[in-house]
């Protein structure tokens, strides 16, 4: 008997109670996270254990993830780098530099809107938009 992983169930469970933002900011990921830490009083840190590795064109590509857990709640924030050496974590969203995933608790629309407005004040940020899971073809690439 063969066991088969049900990717659809895994994806659905991973993305339950999440919000996802797409950000265009042509700066290094560590600089972007530094700006966020200063502006929002967050403490984003790189988590090498969550780094995503994809094999494309007989090569390995690595996409780092910065992580921050709110002290006053259960929400965890993850900043994904969407590009490594010309290859994209989400090829259907090549125009985005970063993806911001909020997970493990529900964030109200007002909270997300206030967060987005704050992020827009960073001079390097050119665009920030909320993404719906339905528009992402390669959701499995975000699962760690």
Chain segment 17-70, per-residue pLDDT in tens: 889 999 999 999 999 999 999 999 999 999 999 999 999 888 999 999 999 998
Chain-centre distance for alpha carbon 44: 12
12 pLDDT exceeds 80?
Answer: no
Q: What whole-number distance in Å separates Cα of residue 48 and Cα of residue 73?
A: 23
* CA 88 to chain CA mean position, Å: 13
Residue 128 near residue 97 (C-beta atoms within 8 A): no
In CATH, 14-142 is 3.30.310: yes
Mean pLDDT, residues 87-98 taken together: 95
Render 46-108 in DSSP notation, one character per residue. Answer: E-GGG-EEEEETTEEEEE-EEEEE-TTSS-EEEEEE-EETTEESSGGGTT-SEEEEEESSPPP
Provide the pLDDT for residue 74: 85
Q: Which pLDDT belongs to residue 3?
A: 64
What DSSP character marks residue 82? -
Residue of 139 and 22 predicted with greater confidence: 22
Largest Cα–Cα distance in the chain? Answer: 56
Q: What token pair was written down for 102?
A: 């909020």
pLDDT for residue 32: 97
β-strand partners of 83:
88
Pairwise CA distance, residues 30 & 80, whole Å: 11
What are the structure tokens assigned to 114, written together?
A: 């206030």
Band (141; pLDDT cuts 50, 70, 90): confident
């Amino acid at each position: 008997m063969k066991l088969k992983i049900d990717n659809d169930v895994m994806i659905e469970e991973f993305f339950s109670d999440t919000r996802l933002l797409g950000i265009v900011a042509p700066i290094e990921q560590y600089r972007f996270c530094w700006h966020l830490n200063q502006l929002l009083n967050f403490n984003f840190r790189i988590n090498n254990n969550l780094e995503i590795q994809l094999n494309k064109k007989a090569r390995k590509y690595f996409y780092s993830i910065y992580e921050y857990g709110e002290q006053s709640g259960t929400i965890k924030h993850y900043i994904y780098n969407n590009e490594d050496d010309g290859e994209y974590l989400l090829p259907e969203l090549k125009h985005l530099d970063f993806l911001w995933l909020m997970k493990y608790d529900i964030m109200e629309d007002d909270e997300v809107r206030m967060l987005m407005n704050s992020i827009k004040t960073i001079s390097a940020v050119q665009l920030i938009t909320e993404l719906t899971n339905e528009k992402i073809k390669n959701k499995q690439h975000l699962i760690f």
